[in-house]
Structure 1
Amino acid sequence: MPSRAPTATTSNPAPPRGPLSLAARAAIATGFVLAGFLGLVGLTLSQANQSRALSALQERLQNFALAYITDTGISRYGKLLPPDTSPDPNFLRPGSGLYAVSVGDNSYRWGSPSAIGRDFSFMKILAPGEKEFVGPVDTHMGRLYYYSYGVALDDEVDRKSARLTVMVAQTEDQLEGDNAVYRRSLVVWLSILGVMLIVLQFLLLRWSLTPLRKVASDMTRVERGDSEHLDSQYPLELTGLTERINVFIDNEREQRTRYRHTLADLAHSLKTPLAVIRSQLESAAADDPLRRSGVLDQVRRMDDLVAYQLSRAATSGRQTFAIAVPIAGHAEDLVQSLEKVYAAKNVLCEFDIDESAVFYGEQGDLLELMGNLLENAFKWADHRVLLVVKAQATTARQRPGLWLSVEDDGPGIAADKIEKVLQRGVRGDERVQGHGIGLSIVQDIVHAYQGELLVDRSAELGGARFSVTLTPT
């Protein structure tokens, strides 16, 4: 394939990012809602567990205190006797974090082995029947929770009585350690649950949005010309939309057809009278007043103008719903016709056409585009013409673009004359027959399809090269 002419490139800013898809919007919204919900659930469960653990601690310390009160005796002289058993082995282990202290009448003071060397000066004496659960409080032993219970012990035999306050304390570390284990376990399980819910939500979204993806896929098939309508079965909520889209497609095609038929009728109505007038004037004598007054020239200009404007107006341009028109067969037919017309020049036309190359638009626009470019090449070529057609790469949801090039081995076009040649009614050489509107029609068709026409010199044949680029849509 001939190399394309180098063109100047400019750095453009990156295009703005498009709006998020419905699936992405739903996934993000669901993710935030799920994160907030699971966070609230975790916080609620953590606080509930902390309250439960605190209540359990209070009950546990209360049971220890009652056990020590029960095991504390009173002598016949009214003196308190220390307990001789322990409700928990941790009370026997120094520094275990579980302490028991009791204070009573007659300077009675007792402490569990775990409380040896510990300062419990913050302990308050309670009246009989008074209870107190406090915590956490800061002490030199760390933060503590403690339960205090005030009682009056009576000796029923000797009728002696003594007041006693028992305090059982536990460090906060043990409670917080249990809470930390629970929180870690809660985070792990809530995370697993969150991942499972996200996966489930993703699957539900894919299933729920399948009809919309089907509509988009069917629309792509219609735009690429593989189908005429949206013909799948859709849910009830989408049926009204798809039916109206089908009506819109039919109306657009019908309007284009009616428009082109009207232009064809207009062309026939105008060109026939002009052809009769022109024929009569050309067959008139040279000294006929009408010929001498320039009427024949004006009729010729009117004929050329009508041909150009009708050809320009009949150009359909880029269509949303267009059928793919194959190029190879039409190119061969055009070249065969031109080879007969220019048989005296013995021009050889070579092809390099992709089998996958198609034109998305009206067949008449394709024939007008290729026909004018090939006819121009045959006019100016010495012996060789090259037609190259390549399909441009595209994404799965776009119609492929097209690159078409026509080259010849003629004299070529000077760079300073390219713009002038593309103007309507201008011919590169007045000695060459023609109206000078073919290339301007090509330019109008290319612009109608939002493409680009590039004119330069052929690197392979040495003459002119006309390159048409139609971008993917």
Structure 2
Amino acid sequence: MGTAPTLSIHQRLLLAASLVLSAFLGFTGLALDKAFRSASEEAFQARLYSSVYALLAAAEEDQAGGLRMPDLLTDPRFNRPDSGRYAQVRDRSGDYLWQSPSSLGRDLGLIRDRQPGESKIERFKLDDSAAMGLSFGVAWEDFQGRELHYVLTVVEDLKPLQEQVAAFRDTLFLWLGGAALLLLMVQGWVLRWGLRPLREVAQALTEIESGSADQLQGDYPKELNRLTSNLNSLIRHAQARQQRYRDSLGDLAHSLKTPLAVLQSVSEGESDEQPSVRKSVREQVDRMNQIVSHQLQRAAASGRTVLTQTVPIKPVVERIAGSLDKVYREKGISWRIDIVADCHFPGDEGDLMELLGNLMENACKYGKGLVRVRAETGRDLHICVEDNGSGIPQDQVEAVLRRGHRADQQQPGQGIGLSVAADIALAYGGRVEIGAAQELGGAVIHLYLPMR
């Protein structure tokens, strides 16, 4: 089954913004529509009360002192048939005493008795259309002092109100829809502008992949600086590692020329000196093994990567010390390990094992039984390995860092330990320094590695 296409960041943000904006404008439109409808109905009801008060103000007395309405009212809608505004006056028994010319032939249906001063607004059907009416109880005193009760009713068709609310709703949602469309267009442009640095990074990576560039270059926002810096570190690491392989292969090919030439010469010669031939062959084979071992270790150095976890140093030192105790059991190595628990190596554990293994083995090999290992962190990681041997003469410091050179020719080995350590340190942007141990009297090897 095919998987659904993954939405881009731009599409996701635009979709989320569209949903939020639509929901917000939708709720806003509903709230405004409800508020307008409520305000319109309140104004409609207030107009009904105003009509009732206007009718009461226009009321007159008949010959007996009872209530009488004039033939024509000041509000022309009461005088025009089917105008949508109607008025009636009934007594307590429900009999008509008066009705406006606009309501002739209509039964408004509000026959309920009302106490003087009591009023009630009702909705009902009038000629198959919605209407709203106000019934108002009135007390009227005639000439004989009797109190007469009347019910004054004003009814108005709701169609104009409904049309007004519908027109407002159409206009409101038209404007809100236009505003939503405009805001979405602006949002799309803003997102495109805001995500442009990511597209530039992707384009730069494409150029690196095609070989037209070797680094991410450009002025990126601070949110992307860490990303581009880490990507550049990874790229530099890959380039440096590839270069180390090239250099190692070149050095290997160049270094093997002489031993191979000697072996070829020996194999083509017709000498009867078999012991000397075997010795020569063995020496050249040992030399080739030494060269191959050194170049492989040099090429395998991982170097710093931004994704490598830090490695606690003290457990690694203790593990190596335990292994070296077995190798140099006859010397009875005494260890002084001065490393705090939170001291970490910013790289690959295999590289740390190779570094410390070479330095600590040299200290065991050339020392007289006492080795001190210290480590501390600040801006840089500083690892120090000291021994109580005869030390390294100052004029041989540079030489011992070169492959195949040993300060003490009496000791067995290939002379590549410090060279491998120096290569690994260089891969991490660090360095190896050699000095004299003030306290123990032998050699001291300083390893400096940047923490960042």
Kindly indicate whether residue 213 of structure 2 is the aligned counterpart of residue 227 of structure 1: yes
1:322 aligned residue? none
Deviation at 1:42, TM superposition (A): 0.3
- Residue identity opposite 1:26 in structure 2: L
Q: Deviations over 1:402-426 (max 9, x none)?
A: xxxxxxxxxxxxxxxxxxxxxxxxx
Gap change, CA 1:257 and 1:79, over 3 Å in 2: same
The percent of aligned pairs where both chains have the same amino acid is 36
Q: Is the 8 A contact 1:78 1:161 kept in 2?
A: no
2:187 aligned residue? 201
1:117 aligned residue? 105
Deviation at 1:66, TM superposition (A): 1.3
Partners of 2:75 and 2:204 in 1: CA distance: 76
1:14-93 alignment, distance < 5 Å: 16-93=3-80
1:1-400 alignment, distance < 5 Å: 16-104=3-91, 107-135=95-123, 137-155=124-142, 159-269=145-255, 273-274=259-260, 277=263, 281=267
SS at match of 1:145: strand
Q: Is the 8 A contact 1:74 1:154 kept in 2?
A: no
SS at match of 1:151: strand
Partners of 2:26 and 2:81 in 1: CA distance: 41
Question: Tell me, which stretches of 5 or more residues in structure 2 are unaligned?
Answer: 272-291, 300-452
Q: Is the 8 A contact 1:91 1:114 kept in 2?
A: yes
Q: Is the 8 A contact 2:66 2:141 kept in 1?
A: no
2:331 aligned residue? none
Partners of 1:16 and 1:284 in 2: CA distance: 73
Q: Is the 8 A contact 1:71 1:85 kept in 2?
A: no
SS at match of 1:152: strand
Deviation at 1:102, TM superposition (A): 1.4
SS at match of 1:189: helix
Deviation at 1:244, TM superposition (A): 1.5
Partners of 2:268 and 2:70 in 1: CA distance: 142
Partners of 1:58 and 1:182 in 2: CA distance: 19
Gap change, CA 1:112 and 1:284, over 3 Å in 2: farther
- Residue identity opposite 1:120 in structure 2: L
Partners of 2:4 and 2:96 in 1: CA distance: 81
2:387 aligned residue? none
SS at match of 1:20: coil
SS at match of 2:81: coil
SS at match of 2:125: strand
Deviation at 1:140, TM superposition (A): 4.6
Partners of 1:163 and 1:17 in 2: CA distance: 78
Q: Is the 8 A contact 2:14 2:188 kept in 1?
A: yes
Deviation at 1:88, TM superposition (A): 3.0
Gap change, CA 1:197 and 1:162, over 3 Å in 2: same
Deviation at 1:108, TM superposition (A): 4.5
For the aligned residue pairs, the C-alpha RMSD in angstroms reads 3.0
Q: Deviations over 1:96-147 (max 9, x none)?
A: 3222111126844222222122223343121100011122x23554322111
Deviation at 1:39, TM superposition (A): 0.3
Structure showing greater relative contact order (alpha-carbon pairs closer than 8 Å, 6 or more residues apart): 1
Q: Is the 8 A contact 1:65 1:168 kept in 2?
A: yes
Partners of 2:5 and 2:62 in 1: CA distance: 90
Q: Which of 120-129 and 35-44 deviates more? A: 120-129
Q: Is the 8 A contact 2:108 2:155 kept in 1?
A: no
Q: Is the 8 A contact 1:76 1:160 kept in 2?
A: no
Gap change, CA 1:67 and 1:85, over 3 Å in 2: farther
SS at match of 1:95: coil
Q: Is the 8 A contact 1:76 1:158 kept in 2?
A: no
Q: Is the 8 A contact 1:78 1:160 kept in 2?
A: no
Partners of 1:15 and 1:121 in 2: CA distance: 69
SS at match of 1:162: strand
Partners of 1:42 and 1:88 in 2: CA distance: 36
- Residue identity opposite 1:115 in structure 2: S
Partners of 1:117 and 1:84 in 2: CA distance: 17
Deviation at 1:160, TM superposition (A): 4.8
The TM-score, its normalising length taken from structure 2, stands at 0.55
Deviation at 1:92, TM superposition (A): 2.6
Deviation at 1:58, TM superposition (A): 0.2
Partners of 1:141 and 1:102 in 2: CA distance: 23
Partners of 1:89 and 1:76 in 2: CA distance: 27
Residues matched between the structures, number: 276
Question: Tell me, which stretches of 5 or more residues in structure 1 are unaligned?
Answer: 1-13, 286-305, 314-473
SS at match of 2:109: coil
Gap change, CA 1:263 and 1:15, over 3 Å in 2: farther
- Residue identity opposite 2:64 in structure 1: Y
SS at match of 2:249: helix
Q: Is the 8 A contact 1:78 1:162 kept in 2?
A: no
- Residue identity opposite 1:257 in structure 2: Q
SS at match of 2:97: strand
Q: Is the 8 A contact 2:138 2:150 kept in 1?
A: yes
- Residue identity opposite 1:127 in structure 2: Q
